[in-house]
Structure 1
Amino acid sequence: MAIKLQLLTENPKEIELIERYWAVDESGQYLEKVSALAGIIEMAQGVTLTSFIRQRCNAFDEHQVCLKCAELIEIKNRSEAKKVPQRPTKLCTVCQEDQDAIVLKAAKAKSAELERQLAEYTRKQSTRTVDYSEIPDNQVLLLLALDRAITPRLTNGGFTVGDCRGLAPRYVGDFVQQLREAGLVFDDPGKARPGTYYWEGDEIWRVRDQVVYRLAPDVASRSADEIIRSLVDRVYTDADGIFNLWLDYSVADVMRYLGSQCELYHHDLSAAELEEIKSTMRSALETYSVSQLWSVAWKVVRDAASLANREYYNRPKAAATIPGKIRRNLEKVQRESIELKAWSRPEQHPAGTLGMVLGEILGVDENTSGHMVSSLVTWLTGHACSPSVEAELGEPTRELMTKALAHDASSSVMLRFAELIRAGHGVRFAVKEIAGSFST
């Protein structure tokens, strides 16, 4: 081991201490221990021997050279020295400073470009307007619910996703993203915390939870408060849009409950498994109520917890069965016309303002079946009495009522009809099912 010294002192005692500190034998072992050298020169309180020597000497290891210029690498203490020549992997002090300067210059240029692009984005957004009288019904309802969740932030300043926690039981960021993609709210970079926007390669990325949003300006220059008031009197006509928003909200309501149950029993589901369950639940919600699917989630999660305690099983394996168990359970319910039980809403699981708004305009809650919601939406939007619907249901209904009167069973028919509707079945299925009972 060969150490080249560059002395920064002319004090003989200090020079002696430095040379003894770095002195090695033929095998590269240091001749003296650090503890034996500590008392040779009096040092200020708190100053270590290593830092004292480093202030008075630069040490270079002849077994380490700069990757770029091949000059010797400076070392700070004994542990950094090498006993045999090393393959170049480091930069010397000068080259490292040059490299750091280049990196710093590039970072400053990137930062300046980021600020320029964000300023340009803000300028364009401030000149873009929205005709709120033309936006779809589902977006109207979402804005009304958002205003209720964050009043007065929507109409008076900016808001973050974290401010919107009261909007829905889960997936709040996704609902806000719907409004962002529709151009109804936009980013306000000037109000965001430092680090919210950053470069990833050649693209600008953002930390979604830190983004500050604002309501887009109105084409008629109305204030934000006036915009919200105008939306309250909306006449709804888009049945599909409203029903899909109800599905989005109800999926969030079901998945929140499922998540709390999985947390209770320490079931960790992957992102792919959660997406599979979401898809299954969304399809089921077209028929059943949220509270009925809570009962399915409750049963399946507990079955998985029991399975985890069996021999040759563990929690990860048991949790992986949950998506399939939910799907098979719902298939059996539909195949055998089983009436699902309905669970009550847990106290720690609020509905959210979107659920409240949907409940007010539709008269629905977690106990309303998907079939019933669909019917209510068609009534609300003026599509319930269309000729095609009447033509399809008219004849089967007349035949059913004729048979019911002939068998003096009108009361039992109506009770059975109500029972099937409560179980989540549609009017068509209920009429067909009851009519079939008269032919057996």
Structure 2
Amino acid sequence: MAIKLQMLTEDPKEIELIERYWAVDESGQYLEKVSALGGIIEMAQGVSLASFIRQRCNAFDENQVCPKCAELIEIRNRSEAKKVPQRPSKFCTVCQEDQDAIALEAEKAKAAELERQLTEYVRKQSTRTVDYSEIPDNQVILLLALDRAITPRLTNGGFTVGDCRGLAPRYVADFVLQLREAGLVLDDPSKARPGTYYWEGDEIWMLREQVVYRLAPDAASKSAEEIIRGLLDRVYTDAEGIFNLWLDYSVADVMRYLGAQCELYNHDLSEQELEEIKSTMRSALEIYSVSQLWSVVWKVVRDAASLANREYYNRPKAAATIPGKIRRNLEKVQRESIELKAWSRPEQHPAGTLGMVLCEILGVDENTSGHMVSSLVTWFIGQASSPTAEAELDEPIRELMTVALAHDIGSSVMLRFAELIRAGHDVGFAIEEIGEALRS
């Protein structure tokens, strides 16, 4: 190892100290320890020996060469020196300054282009309007819930996803994204914190939690307050859209409870496992209520916690069983027509304003089964069972009651019918299930 020294001092004592600091033997080992050199020259309090020497000498390692200009690399202390020649890994001071200057200019150019594009984006946003009388029912309900969650910020200011925490128990950002993708809320870069928008590759990216949104202006130039008042008088017609919004909200309600239970028992689920559970729960919510699925979650999570304590098991292995356990539990419940228990809403787990608006419009809550919600939505928009649909049930009901009365089991049949309805099944399924049992 050879160190080339460039002295910046003419003081003989300082030069001697510097030479002794960098002196090495034939094997590259330093001849003297740093601790032995500390008292040779008096230094100001708080100044280290390496810093003192660095101010009076430039040291260059002959085993490190700049890959751009082939000049020796400057080192700051003993630990940066190499005993044998190294493949170039960094530039010399001059070349590094050139690279830094080029990088700085590139960053300035990117910042200028980012500013230009954001200005153009804001200009285009300012020309966009929405005919709120034409937006889908589910978006109306979501906007009403958002307004209630962040009043008065939706109508007279900007808001972030963090401001919307009261909207739903979970997946708040997804609900806001629905409105953004529909063009009902717009980004407002002028109100965002510095650094919210940035370059990544050749595209503009953003930190979603810092984006500031605002309500899109009305095509008829109504004020934001007038827009919300107009939505309150909406006549709903889209049963499928409303029911799907209820499913979105209910999935969030169930998954919030799952998250709390997993946190309680230190179960760490992967994103893939959570997505699998979300899919299972969304399907189950078409039949059961949120509170019934809370009871399923409660049981499965505790089963996994118990499993984690067994020999040859651990927390990750036990947690990995949760998605499958939930699916199999629900399959058994439906196959055997088991009535699920309903859990009460935890005190620390509020429904959110979306749940409150759905309750006010439809009269549903966490205890309303998916079958019942579907029927209520259909009835609410005036698409209740037609005479034809009711007529299709007349004959099976008449046949069932005839058989029940003939065998003097009317009470048993009615109790079983009530049990199936409470379990989340619709009328048609319940009649068919009891009829098959009587015929077997």
**Which amino acid is the alignment partner of residue 369 of structure 1?**
S
In the aligned structure 2, how far is the partner of 1:91 from the partner of 1:118?
36
* 237-246 vs 378-387, which moves further: 378-387
**Which amino acid is the alignment partner of residue 277 of structure 1?**
I
* 29-38 vs 272-281, which moves further: 29-38
**Which amino acid is the alignment partner of residue 96 of structure 1?**
Q
Please report how far the alpha carbon of residue 52 of structure 1 lies from its aligned counterpart in structure 2 after TM superposition: 1.8
What's 1:36 paired with? 36
Which SS does the other structure have where 1:317 is aligned?
helix
What's 1:431 paired with? 431
Summarize the alignment of residues 359-438 of structure 1 with structure 2, pairs less than 5 Å apart.
359-400=359-400, 415-436=415-436
Please report how far the alpha carbon of residue 201 of structure 1 lies from its aligned counterpart in structure 2 after TM superposition: 1.3
Which SS does the other structure have where 1:155 is aligned?
helix
**Which amino acid is the alignment partner of residue 242 of structure 2?**
I
Please report how far the alpha carbon of residue 399 of structure 1 lies from its aligned counterpart in structure 2 after TM superposition: 4.3
Please report how far the alpha carbon of residue 13 of structure 1 lies from its aligned counterpart in structure 2 after TM superposition: 3.0
In the aligned structure 2, how far is the partner of 1:87 from the partner of 1:437?
82
In the aligned structure 1, how far is the partner of 2:27 from the partner of 2:298?
71
**Which amino acid is the alignment partner of residue 427 of structure 2?**
V
What's 1:169 paired with? 169
What's 2:339 paired with? 339
Please report how far the alpha carbon of residue 67 of structure 1 lies from its aligned counterpart in structure 2 after TM superposition: 1.1
Summarize the alignment of residues 211-250 of structure 1 with structure 2, pairs less than 5 Å apart.
211-250=211-250
Unaligned runs of 5+ in 2: none
What's 2:324 paired with? 324
Which SS does the other structure have where 2:73 is aligned?
strand
* 240-249 vs 57-66, which moves further: 57-66
What's 2:353 paired with? 353
Q: Do 1:372 and 1:421's aligned partners in 2 also have CA atoms closer than 8 Å? A: no
Please report how far the alpha carbon of residue 288 of structure 1 lies from its aligned counterpart in structure 2 after TM superposition: 0.7
In the aligned structure 1, how far is the partner of 2:122 from the partner of 2:394?
57
Summarize deviations over 1:90-111 as a string: whole Å, max 9, x none.
2100011111111111111112
What's 1:296 paired with? 296
**Which amino acid is the alignment partner of residue 27 of structure 1?**
S
What's 1:82 paired with? 82
Aligned CA distance change for structure 1 residues 262 and 30 (closer, same or farther; 3 Å): closer
What's 2:137 paired with? 137
Summarize the alignment of residues 121-160 of structure 1 with structure 2, pairs less than 5 Å apart.
121-160=121-160
Summarize deviations over 1:229-286 as a string: whole Å, max 9, x none.
1101111100000000011111111111111111111111111111111111111111
Please report how far the alpha carbon of residue 43 of structure 1 lies from its aligned counterpart in structure 2 after TM superposition: 2.5
What's 1:193 paired with? 193
Which SS does the other structure have where 2:134 is aligned?
coil
Please report how far the alpha carbon of residue 216 of structure 1 lies from its aligned counterpart in structure 2 after TM superposition: 0.7
Which SS does the other structure have where 1:269 is aligned?
coil
What's 1:103 paired with? 103
In the aligned structure 2, how far is the partner of 1:309 from the partner of 1:49?
56
Q: Count residues with an aligned counterpart.
A: 440
Aligned CA distance change for structure 1 residues 273 and 27 (closer, same or farther; 3 Å): closer
What's 1:209 paired with? 209
What's 2:254 paired with? 254
Which SS does the other structure have where 1:154 is aligned?
helix
Please report how far the alpha carbon of residue 412 of structure 1 lies from its aligned counterpart in structure 2 after TM superposition: 6.2
* 424-433 vs 7-16, which moves further: 7-16
Aligned CA distance change for structure 1 residues 385 and 80 (closer, same or farther; 3 Å): closer
**Which amino acid is the alignment partner of residue 333 of structure 1?**
V
RMSD: 2.0
Please report how far the alpha carbon of residue 119 of structure 1 lies from its aligned counterpart in structure 2 after TM superposition: 1.7
Aligned-residue sequence identity (percent) comes to 87
What's 1:281 paired with? 281
* 236-245 vs 181-190, which moves further: 181-190
In the aligned structure 2, how far is the partner of 1:332 from the partner of 1:229?
47
Aligned CA distance change for structure 1 residues 22 and 318 (closer, same or farther; 3 Å): closer
**Which amino acid is the alignment partner of residue 314 of structure 1?**
N
Q: Do 1:38 and 1:49's aligned partners in 2 also have CA atoms closer than 8 Å? A: yes
Please report how far the alpha carbon of residue 78 of structure 1 lies from its aligned counterpart in structure 2 after TM superposition: 2.1
Summarize deviations over 1:104-151 as a string: whole Å, max 9, x none.
111111122122212211111111000000000000000111111111
In the aligned structure 1, how far is the partner of 2:233 from the partner of 2:145?
14
Aligned CA distance change for structure 1 residues 38 and 172 (closer, same or farther; 3 Å): same
Aligned CA distance change for structure 1 residues 83 and 328 (closer, same or farther; 3 Å): closer
**Which amino acid is the alignment partner of residue 334 of structure 2?**
Q
Which SS does the other structure have where 2:155 is aligned?
coil
Aligned CA distance change for structure 1 residues 26 and 265 (closer, same or farther; 3 Å): closer
**Which amino acid is the alignment partner of residue 48 of structure 1?**
S
In the aligned structure 2, how far is the partner of 1:28 from the partner of 1:270?
51
Please report how far the alpha carbon of residue 436 of structure 1 lies from its aligned counterpart in structure 2 after TM superposition: 4.5
TM-score, normalised to structure 1, is: 0.94
Please report how far the alpha carbon of residue 174 of structure 1 lies from its aligned counterpart in structure 2 after TM superposition: 0.7
What's 2:46 paired with? 46
In the aligned structure 2, how far is the partner of 1:158 from the partner of 1:323?
39
* 23-32 vs 206-215, which moves further: 23-32
What's 2:56 paired with? 56
Which SS does the other structure have where 1:143 is aligned?
helix
In the aligned structure 2, how far is the partner of 1:4 from the partner of 1:205?
47
Aligned CA distance change for structure 1 residues 336 and 35 (closer, same or farther; 3 Å): closer
In the aligned structure 2, how far is the partner of 1:79 from the partner of 1:345?
61
Please report how far the alpha carbon of residue 28 of structure 1 lies from its aligned counterpart in structure 2 after TM superposition: 3.1
Unaligned runs of 5+ in 1: none
In the aligned structure 1, how far is the partner of 2:341 from the partner of 2:95?
72
In the aligned structure 2, how far is the partner of 1:438 from the partner of 1:30?
97
In the aligned structure 2, how far is the partner of 1:406 from the partner of 1:234?
51
**Which amino acid is the alignment partner of residue 16 of structure 2?**
E
In the aligned structure 1, how far is the partner of 2:340 from the partner of 2:283?
16
**Which amino acid is the alignment partner of residue 170 of structure 1?**
R
Aligned CA distance change for structure 1 residues 36 and 430 (closer, same or farther; 3 Å): closer
Summarize deviations over 1:14-71 as a string: whole Å, max 9, x none.
3333233323333333333333333333322222222222112111112221111110
Q: Do 1:4 and 1:62's aligned partners in 2 also have CA atoms closer than 8 Å? A: yes
